[in-house]
Amino acid sequence: MSDARLERYAELLRAYAPSLNLVSPKVLAELPLHFEAARAYGEVLSEGAAVVDLGSGAGLPAIPLAIHRPDLTLTLVERRAKRAAFLELAVAQLGLAGVRVYNGDVRRWTGRTAYVTAQAVAPFDEVYNLVRHAAEYPLTLMARKGPGWRAEAERLGAEVFHVKPLGTDAELVALRLEAPR
């Protein structure tokens, strides 16, 4: 972790994770891997893209992504008030000007987006159903996935255009939908 803001984010996670149930001890021990995975998301996103991070939780991958790619505009969507409060704190302390936190159900969010990240949220078809009201096409859905993601892509009828291994047990998968389903 070379960026001081990544170090500060890691400190915030370690300080608040136990009391807010943000991430497991395993995730805390593997933060550098999660930060590298966030970089992989950034490889797929267009310059200046507006991205919705669905189910942001503790801010992985969105906060490291925002640090690596300050050109992006990110909306972190989190239903749970305590986690949303943590995200607000982290965004403020890290000086992430292009990041906003939406505390609520994404189905009530009134913005528009062509890019959605959804790590550990739901299968791709369910994620699409949650965000379809806000979709701009072509729509890109991205997530860190384990085995079985191909069936998710087939159910949705989406084009798989990017797959990158993330360690030994997961891949970053990006799907594109050219029109509403």
Q: What per-residue confidence (pLDDT) applies to 125? A: 95
Q: How confident is the model at residue 127 (pLDDT cuts 50, 70, 90)?
A: very high
Mean pLDDT is lowest, of 27-41, 98-112, 127-141, for 27-41
Q: What per-residue confidence (pLDDT) applies to 61? A: 95
Q: Which two tokens stand for residue 87?
A: 């995200």
* Region 53-76 average pLDDT: 96
Residues in Cβ contact with 20 at an 8 Å cutoff, skipping those fewer than 6 apart: 82, 83, 86
Which residue is it, tokens 């990006």? 174
Q: How far is CA 97 from CA 93, 100, 181, in A?
A: 11, 8, 34
In DSSP terms, which residues pair with 10 in a beta bridge? none
Q: What is the pTM for the complete model shown?
A: 0.94
Residue 116: closest CA among 44, 39, 32, 58: 44
In DSSP terms, which residues pair with 78 in a beta bridge? 103
How far is residue 170's CA from residue 163's CA, in Å, rounded to a whole number?
10
How far is residue 113's CA from residue 134's CA, in Å, rounded to a whole number?
6
For 34-61, how does the pLDDT look when each residue is reduced to its tens digit (9 = 90+)?
999 999 999 999 999 999 999 999 999 9
